[in-house]
Amino acid sequence: MIKSIYFMFFVCACLFGLFACSAKAQDKFKNLSSDDFEKLIQDENIQRVDVRTVAEYSQGHIPESLNINVLDDKFSAEADELLDKERPVAVYCKSGRRSRNAARLLTQKGFKVYNLDKGFDNWKESGKDIEL
């Protein structure tokens, strides 16, 4: 009896683990390294979006990027107003966490999205162009 309870617990834990992994695999945006992100944004058709706060953005950002704070309640409305759904969007934040959330929201709205995987900090550490 106790062995069957442990077995069921083990099966449930495994299924939960598989479900958690498959949920992440369903993300419809692509994470890119700093080098790949840099290559991508050479295309003038790509919309560059910094999803950090205004204060963070003002301390330095990727050139020609638009600032739409993902933590702001108006993020979704501003994205609809400022971005063109016909053009791909390249998003980034400080470390990659907020931009992944922004990428999920934007893909749900029908945008094609690319995310800077390790964020602006990694971009700077890689010696990439920044603008103040």
* Residues carrying an active site annotation: 93
State the Rg of the chain over Cα: 18
User: Which residues make Cβ contacts (< 8 Å) with residue 79, sequence separation at least 6?
Assistant: 49, 68, 105, 106, 109, 111
Q: State the Cα–Cα distance between residues 123 and 116, nearest whole angstrom.
A: 8
Q: State the Cα–Cα distance between residues 116 and 14, nearest whole angstrom.
A: 31
Give the C-alpha distances (Å, rounded to integers) separating 31 from 17, 34, 76, 103.
22, 10, 21, 10
